[in-house]
Structure 1
């Protein structure tokens, strides 16, 4: 799930709406998922043993709550859609970074994803809330209504990064206009899950894909897209590149290395290998580095999980490409980055062995590409 959908702020404005607010907080609480409810002070209830959820009184300026959490949490407004629109209006910028926003009537009959439905997860949350409460989820996105292929949904479900937002919008418009989309995967091995929609034509080569008015290529930005010799006489302007977000990046580094130095060296190492940090899904290291400021800053900046392993656990990893007696004396293991990457992605393959940068090392393990068609 998108990180923006993992936290939910629920806002209600009437007594009936606040009772529903409390109910939803309680239902999520039973699942072990915390949801924070806000309501006018006269309807709020402080948490105690007899309540299902905690409803916090509105601050003097409700927009301060929205501003604090915008882009990092979902918002559910219980009440009129117009109220939600007026409150979120100052913060709306881009569906790729906006918060998921939903609205639900105070009787709990309908729930509507208003903003960031596919990318942010509002559509998923609407279906989840409908299942939990008995409400009806109302989807208004054109591809949903017409039951057609949506590239943003496909990219999200397949852990793919959209590299060109404008082309993604053009792709959706083409699908709605009835065009067929050429599709090419540049990886030799990949898995297809689900039924390929009729709008998509699977192609065996880049040249074949580019004979269509619009095309989608799944591959690495630097590893062949519009770069191979076969591309000299083909047009890539109508092709949307989706890059897989399936890399576990193992990192070893000098103590107290500057965060900027670590980040720039990592980017350089990845770029030389035809990869991009946007394709990372996790960073890993030895537990000696669990509090290393530069690693923590990197994880926070790119919203990546940071997992560490003991030296004993790392020694269980076999067949590393390089060993260092100095590193072993210092950390208890002969290769931190490569072993950490392999330990963090047991079902992946090593695509970049230990590579040395200034004050740090990095290695990359990748999971197989999995194309998920709903």
Structure 2
């Protein structure tokens, strides 16, 4: 179980197909019955099992992010039905027929990546991909995948199904993007007329709409929430860079508290933090490392020389005396975000200094 996807066959023809897939796709582990073993399984790291595939599927289902079965769709449905939990956690399930004519996306088409896996399998085998997800068939916005490649995080997942229905039924859907990467439309054709893009909620409210997709790091007001999220999905793009300076030995709890308080003060969501930036002397700071690990924030560091090349509004001789730079949080935030200005120049609380910048994608 070293790869992301398990390929399971149960017939002689299926075994040959599984071996072909292993040759074409580097990130698959292959399983098939011992009676079809060809003698090279150990060298190819293929598992030849004894007994029934029924005994293996539950383990593979939980151990891999993708499962390709080279047997009938009905058999796969019966095998995985008792194992299903949630579309956000279930693995991608794909089936291939015994002649490799069709590759069918069965489960977790979007979030789990089954539609993409189906395309990859079909291409490797020269098979026809069968994908029935409405948004893929219509080549329109996949609400649950919008901006996923850029790290957009859905803040109210409970609205995805209803808003997806609005999209595939071609209702009037406003897409309001206040920040974040702009290349989320995956097709060569223009956006359909029922999808309209705005760069602010104020502009969007000037035209009637039935549903909304809101991409912003801002904490919405009560009125904005009522108007746009009653039937809308809120996405958090990863656009906030937090510059941090702290004294040696500062706890993760204290650093987190200052960051949270600062973001709340300027009405920004912690879910939109892309990374933390600081001086290289803090690359091993336990509290900072603990906090970044907890939130899965990359920690970006710069030398004092790099920080001193940045013009900042609040240089400090005291900071220079201790670390060799005239500032830490301010220049680190500017360097990491490539922003031209601050959302928050510098806030000092206790042992922590925080500066906030927004990454621009205009």
Answer yes or no: same fold by TM over 0.5: yes
Q: 1:61 to 1:103 in 2, by over 3 A?
A: closer
1:40 CA displacement: 5.1
Distance in structure 2 (CA, Å) of the matches to 1:175 and 1:303 = 32
The alignment status of 1:196 with 2:191, answered yes or no, reads yes
What residue in structure 2 maps to residue 266 of structure 1? 259
**1:127 alignment partner, one of 116, 119, 123:** 119
Q: Deviation per CA, 1:154-213: give whole Å up to 9, x if none.
A: 34356533222232221111233332223434469978966222221345724324x322
What residue in structure 1 maps to residue 91 of structure 2? 99
Q: 1:198 to 1:67 in 2, by over 3 A?
A: same
Cα-Cα RMSD: 4.0
Distance in structure 1 (CA, Å) of the matches to 2:48 and 2:60 = 11
**1:1-374 to 2 correspondences below 5 Å:** 8-14=4-10, 16-29=13-26, 34-39=27-32, 43=37, 48=43, 51=44, 54-56=45-47, 63-69=58-64, 73-82=65-74, 84-86=76-78, 88-89=80-81, 92-105=84-97, 107-156=99-148, 159-186=151-178, 195-202=190-197, 205-209=203-207, 211-222=208-219, 224-227=220-223, 237-304=230-297, 306-311=298-303, 314-315=306-307, 317-346=309-338, 350-369=342-361
**Which one has a bigger Cα radius of gyration?**
2
Q: 1:55 to 1:217 in 2, by over 3 A?
A: same
Q: 1:166 to 1:132 in 2, by over 3 A?
A: same
TM-score normalised to structure 1 length: 0.73
Conserved in 1, the CA contact under 8 Å of 2:58 and 2:83?
no
1:56 CA displacement: 4.5
Q: 1:256 to 1:37 in 2, by over 3 A?
A: farther
Conserved in 1, the CA contact under 8 Å of 2:347 and 2:353?
yes
Conserved in 1, the CA contact under 8 Å of 2:7 and 2:28?
no
Q: 1:187 to 1:258 in 2, by over 3 A?
A: closer
**Using CA pairs below 8 Å that are at least 6 residues apart, which structure has the higher relative contact order?**
1
Distance in structure 2 (CA, Å) of the matches to 1:348 and 1:238 = 35
TM-score normalised to structure 2 length: 0.75
| Structure 2 counterpart SS, 1:149 | coil
Distance in structure 2 (CA, Å) of the matches to 1:190 and 1:215 = 17
Q: 1:367 to 1:58 in 2, by over 3 A?
A: farther
The unaligned stretches of length 5 or more in structure 1 are: 1-6
Matched positions, count: 348
Conserved in 1, the CA contact under 8 Å of 2:147 and 2:184?
no
Q: Deviation per CA, 1:69-98: give whole Å up to 9, x if none.
A: 5xxx33434434455445544553333344
Q: 1:20 to 1:147 in 2, by over 3 A?
A: same
The unaligned stretches of length 5 or more in structure 2 are: none
| Structure 1 counterpart SS, 2:146 | helix
Distance in structure 2 (CA, Å) of the matches to 1:168 and 1:286 = 40
